[in-house]
Structure 1
Amino acid sequence: MTAEEQLVARAAALDLTVPEEYRSEIMRNLALIGQYEALVNAVDLPERLEPAYEYHP
């Protein structure tokens, strides 16, 4: 199953339709999100670290 077919199947499971003219942009966005996912998952966080409950820029 291609990535586009997976997109259509997942959308159908949520009772959504993805218009043909938007599919390439959606696929590009999903690829970018996948790259972000890989970056986040590459960070090794030890179990002893506590979560930050507030963000202070």
Structure 2
Amino acid sequence: MSTCRPTSTPLIPNSKLLKSTIPEDQIDVAFRQKYQSLVGSLQYATLGTRPDLSYAACMYLDT
């Protein structure tokens, strides 16, 4: 690790993401499923290859 170089992260440190203000019953089911599928695919792709991006992707799911 002594030869490693630091790099910036794709997420601003200590940023707070806000929960959507759209009521649950007004969100289209097809849109929700597509969004969950895309985020899940992003998480899977970044899990083993880019831990810094994986952290950012997981932050969006926790909101």
Superposition TM-score, scaled by structure 1 size: 0.38
Higher helix share: 1
Work out which structure has the larger RCO, using CA pairs closer than 8 Å and 6 or more positions apart in sequence.
2
Superposition TM-score, scaled by structure 2 size: 0.35
Q: Radius of gyration: which is bigger?
A: 1
